[in-house]
Structure formats: structure tokens, C-alpha cells
Amino acid sequence: MRRAYGGKEVVALEQPRGRGGVYQGVSIDVERPGQAVELAELYAAHRLALVRLAVLLVDDLASAEDVVQDAFTALARRRNGLRDPSAAVGYLRVSVVNGARSMLRRRRTVRGYTPPRAVETAGPEDRVVVAEEHREVLEAVRSLAPRQREVLTLRYWGGLSEAEIAETLEISPGTVKSTASRALDALERIIEEKGGRS
């Protein structure tokens, strides 16, 4: 439902009902009439990709879903409006990366350091995310420094360009290139070391 208030167009959306529900009753202001952000459409179109991104960053499907839901909730709560409706996906991506960082910080604070655990492939969703032939690479990626892991995840699993990664992580494109290069070198060393031990 669309309404105009003070020169702004407002879209009434639905609150989540159950898992993967639709948004009802939430309004997002957009400064330019005719360019309202449909949160339900964003959710349907981008939720799965954002959950995959979050899973690779936090190593846990339930936590990843929480991070993504928090990102959509934060977008829905923005009462001052979005200047550019097309920026909503970028806003969500940045929110997911920042939410994953916060979750990892909280884990370290609460539990202290816990060595990376082996990935379990108990459920069908886990098997899709972590196929057996990719297990070694994913374990190596998890052992990288957080910034290196974020850059590689956004680049190769998220399919983002260097410019999009720079915007998402709020760093320069040159830093993205050098971090990706160092991360790939480190990844190669880790995989070679593990291969030599087998």
C-alpha cells in the first residue's frame, strides 16, 4: 500500500509471519515519490544470497539467518528514508557483514578463543553449502584473518566486484586488491601444507 506524507512516498509492508513470512504494516520512507522500496520484494529476491554470505562469515546457519533477519529489520526501521532505493541491497549487504562481525566479536568475548571446528554436514542445507569437495578450501578460508576471509567471501562466493567489496567493507579498491592477493597466497600455503601432511 502506498501513501504520500509530506512529499514522501511511504510503502506499507507486512511484518514477518513465521519463517520466511511476508512483511505487513512496516513503512519505509523514500525521498523521491514513485521510487518506493518494496521490502517484501527485497526479502524474496535477496534473502537466500544474504544467508549464504552470512553462513560463510559466521559458520552457522541459525546465526546467519539471525544476522540477515536483523539486517532486514534494521532496513524496515529506517524512518528517515532512503535517498536512493537501489541502495537498499548494498545497505543490506553492509548490514549483514557488520552483523556477522558483531556476532563473531560476541562469540570471542563470551567463549574466548575456540579453534575452528570441522564443518558438520548433518542436514541437507549444510550439505548444499559445504559439499565434500569444497571442505578443505572452506576450512582453509576459515583459518584466514577476518578481513582476508571477508574479501574472499564477498569476491568468490558473493560474486561482488572490487568496487562493491570496497563499498561494503568501507575500504579502498586498492586495499581490496592487495588483501585478496595476500589472502589467495595464504590460502595456497595453507592448502599445500595440509596436502603435505596427508
Looking at residues 92-118, what average pLDDT do you find?
76
- Read off the pLDDT of residues 135-166 as tens digits, 9 standing for 90 and up: 778 788 888 999 999 998 888 888 888 998 89
Say if residues 68 and 96 touch (Cβ distance below 8 Å). Answer: yes
- pTM value surpassing 0.85: no
Which CATH architecture describes the domain 1-114? Orthogonal Bundle (1.10)
Give the per-residue pLDDT at 75: 86
Say if residues 27 and 11 touch (Cβ distance below 8 Å). Answer: yes
Q: List, by residue range, all CATH 1.10.10.10 domains of the chain.
A: 126-198
* Whole-number Å distance between alpha carbons of 178 and 154: 15
Q: Which residue has the higher pLDDT, 33 or 53?
A: 53
Which CATH architecture describes the domain 126-198? Orthogonal Bundle (1.10)
Q: Which residue has the higher pLDDT, 139 or 79?
A: 139
In the predicted structure, residue 24 carries a pLDDT above the cut 50: no
